[in-house]
Structure 1
Amino acid sequence: MGLFSKLVTGENIPEHKAAVPIISPLNGKILPLDQYPCPIFKERLMGEGVALEPAGYQVFSPFDGLVEFYPRTSHQIRLKSKQGVKLLIQFGFESDRLMGEGFRLKTKEGAKVSRGDLLLEFDLPKLKQKLNSHLFAVTILNSQKLKGILPQRQQVMAMQDLLMTLYV
C-alpha cells in the first residue's frame, strides 16, 4: 500500500462534509489496488482506488461529467465529474502496447457524458490471451484532496453496485 493511503473502513470514517458514492463502471470483482501489477499504481502515484477483475465487456460512465483524456491506444480513460472528482480507469496492465486492439471506443476526448453512457467495449478473451494481467485499475487522480475513500470488497454489477464512497 502507498505511503499516504486514504483508504478507510466502516469503523474509521473521518469527519467529512459530504459522502460521494461512485458506482462501478464495469462488472467484476473488486480487489485491493495492491494486486494491480504496476508499481505506479501500487505506490498510489495515480491516486487511491481499487483493482477490478472484469466479468463483462463494457465500461460505462459512473457519473455525469467530461471525458478529459482518451488516448488512441484506448488503454485508459480519464473522467471529471461535475463535482471535480477525477477518475482514471486503466484497462489492463501494459494494454497500451496493443495499440487499441481488443478495444472499441464509444466516446471521445472532450465529450460530455452522463451516468450510464457506454464509454468502451473490450474483448476480454483477447486481453487475457495478449496481456500478462487483464485487471483494470480504477483510481481517483485527485484523491489527495479527499478525507477518505471507502472501497467495497465484492462482486459488482456495472451501474448497479457501489464501487467506493469518497469522503470530502
Structure 2
Amino acid sequence: MFKKLFGKKEESSKTLELVAPLSGSLVSLEKVPDPVFAEKMMGDGLAIDPSEGMAVSPVDGEIIQVFPTKHAIGIRAENGAEILLHIGLETVALKGEGFDAHVKEGDKVKAGDRLMSFDLQIIRTKAKSTLTPVIITNTDSTLSLEKEGLGKVEKGVSPIMKLTMK
C-alpha cells in the first residue's frame, strides 16, 4: 500500500535503456577525433566503431530527422530523449554516397528496426573516420545518463546507455 502512495512509478516511464544501433566496438566520446563530439558540444553519449554497414534504432520512438545527405538520423524516444546517430565523421561531404535510409521523418520505430545501411569501405576511404557518435542532444533535460562498459556490442541487442529524463 505504501509503495503505491510513495513509490516512484513516474521514474519508470522516464527511464530508458538504449541498445547498440551498430555492431562493433563501443568507445568513449572523448576518443572521437572531432571536438564537436569529443567535447560534448552537441550533447553526451558514446561512439561505436562499426564492424558492418547497418544501423538500427536504439529505442522505441519516432524519426524526427533524416539528414538530406543520409549520414545522420535524429530519433525522439518515447521518454522524450532526442538521439542523434551520426554515421562516421565528416561524412556530410559524401553527399549521400554510400548511404541508404530505410526510414523517413515521422516514421515510428521500435528498438532494432533498420534505419539505414551504408558502405563502410566508402566511409573508410573518403571520410575522416568510421567512428559513429550516438548523442543525447537534449542532455540538459536528463536526470541521469549511465553508460555501459566499453568493448564489443551487437546491434539491437547490447545495452549501451540507461537514461532518465526530467
Q: Provide the TM-score with structure 1 as the length reference.
A: 0.85
Partner of 2:45: 49
Matched to 2:156, the amino acid is M
Report the Cα distance in structure 2 between the residues aligned to 1:86 and 1:111, rounded to whole angstroms. 15
Q: Give ranges in structure 1 of 5+ residues lacking alignment.
A: 1-15
Query: Does residue 162 of structure 2 align to residue 162 of structure 1?
Result: no
Query: Does residue 54 of structure 2 align to residue 58 of structure 1?
Result: yes
CA drift at 1:159: 0.8
Percent identity between matched residues is 32
> Aligned to 1:17, what secondary structure does the other structure show?
helix
Number of residues of Structure 1 aligned to a counterpart in Structure 2: 153
Deviation per CA, 1:134-165: give whole Å up to 9, x if none. 10000101111212222121210001110111
Report the Cα distance in structure 2 between the residues aligned to 1:132 and 1:71, rounded to whole angstroms. 19
Deviation per CA, 1:89-124: give whole Å up to 9, x if none. 011111000000011111112222222211100111
Instruction: Choose the corresponding residue for 2:20, options 7, 18, 24.
Output: 24
Q: Please say which of residues 145-154 and 84-93 is displaced more in the overlay.
A: 145-154
Q: Give ranges in structure 2 of 5+ residues lacking alignment.
A: 1-9
CA drift at 1:53: 0.5
Q: Please say which of residues 93-102 and 143-152 is displaced more in the overlay.
A: 143-152
Q: Provide the TM-score with structure 2 as the length reference.
A: 0.86
Deviation per CA, 1:41-65: give whole Å up to 9, x if none. 1221211001110011111112221
Matched to 1:17, the amino acid is E
Q: Which is higher, the Rg of structure 1 or of structure 2?
A: 2
Report the Cα distance in structure 1 between the residues aligned to 2:132 and 2:59, rounded to whole angstroms. 18
Partner of 2:106: 110
Matched to 1:107, the amino acid is V
Report the Cα distance in structure 2 between the residues aligned to 1:104 and 1:68, rounded to whole angstroms. 17
